[in-house]
Structure 1
Amino acid sequence: MQLQPHSPTVGVYPATDDYVHAMEVRGAERLLFVAGTMGLRQDGTPGATLDEQLDLIWSNIRGILAAAGMTVDNIVRLTSYLTDAAFADANAAARIAALGGRAVPTTAMVVQTLVSSWLVEIEVVAAA
């Protein structure tokens, strides 16, 4: 499988260092669509802080990917749902760390979650 990022510089605003406008996936045999994943422990309780929830989210995503024989290197698209715009920087830092600095198309939105203690939810698309 080959990944080809696309961030044109003409006719569209510039991409940032941690973001690309589009990711072309060539030769993939499998796609994995991961539902919104929260910062919950195995017993279903949420982490007490934003940082703990972000750590749990990325741990949960790695576990889901591993069950499909994939890693975070297979992520080709990511959407974050934040309950507060003030969480954007911490969320971006956690994403950059989890992906080892690899830029993928991302979207972050401020939303109301179904449970008020869920501070962030992240969904990904992975390809292999």
Structure 2
Amino acid sequence: MEFVSHNPTEGVYAATDDYVHALEVRGAGRLLFVAGTMGLDPAGKPGADLEEQLDLLWSNIRAILASAGMTVDNIVRLTSYLRDSAYAEANAAARTAALGGRRVPTTAIVATTLDSNWLVEIEVVAAG
């Protein structure tokens, strides 16, 4: 499988250092669509603050990917749903760390979550 980033320099605004406009996946045999995942512990309790929820969230995503024989290296698309726009910087930092600096197409949306204690939710698409 091969990943090819596409960041045109004309006709569109520049991508920042933490994402790419598009990622072409060549030779993938499988796609995994991961539902919105929250920063909940195994008992379903949310982390006490944004940092703990982001840690739990990425741990949960890694466990879900592992169940399909994948890792965060297989993530090709990511959408974050933030309860507050003030969470954008911490969310981007957690994503960058979780992906080891690898850039993928991302979108962040400010939304009301179903439970006010859920501060961030992330869904991903992975290819393998």
- Relative to the length of structure 2, the TM-score reads 0.99
Indicate the residue corresponding to 1:19 in structure 2.
Answer: 19
Aligned 1:81-96 pairs, distance under 5 A: 81-96=81-96
Indicate the residue corresponding to 1:100 in structure 2.
Answer: 100
Indicate the residue corresponding to 2:127 in structure 1.
Answer: 127
Indicate the residue corresponding to 1:8 in structure 2.
Answer: 8
What's the RMSD between the two structures over aligned residues?
0.3
C-alpha separation in 2, matches of 1:53 and 1:94: 10
Indicate the SS of the match to 1:102: coil
Give the Å deviation of 1:109.
0.4
Deviations 1:12-70 (A, max 9, x none): 00011111000000000000000000000000000000000000000000000000000
C-alpha separation in 2, matches of 1:123 and 1:68: 15
Query: Which letter maps to 1:27?
Result: G
Indicate the residue corresponding to 1:62 in structure 2.
Answer: 62
- Relative to the length of structure 1, the TM-score reads 0.99
Indicate the SS of the match to 1:33: strand
Query: Which letter maps to 2:17?
Result: D
Where does structure 1 lack aligned partners over 5 or more consecutive residues? none
Indicate the SS of the match to 1:121: strand
Q: Give the paired residue count.
A: 128
Indicate the residue corresponding to 1:51 in structure 2.
Answer: 51
C-alpha separation in 2, matches of 1:77 and 1:109: 14
C-alpha separation in 1, matches of 2:69 and 2:51: 27
Indicate the residue corresponding to 1:109 in structure 2.
Answer: 109
Where does structure 2 lack aligned partners over 5 or more consecutive residues? none
C-alpha separation in 2, matches of 1:112 and 1:43: 23
Indicate the residue corresponding to 1:31 in structure 2.
Answer: 31
Structure 1 segments of 4 or more deviating over 3 A?
Answer: none
- Identity, % of aligned pairs? 77
Give the Å deviation of 1:121.
0.0
Give the Å deviation of 1:107.
0.1
Give the Å deviation of 1:108.
0.1
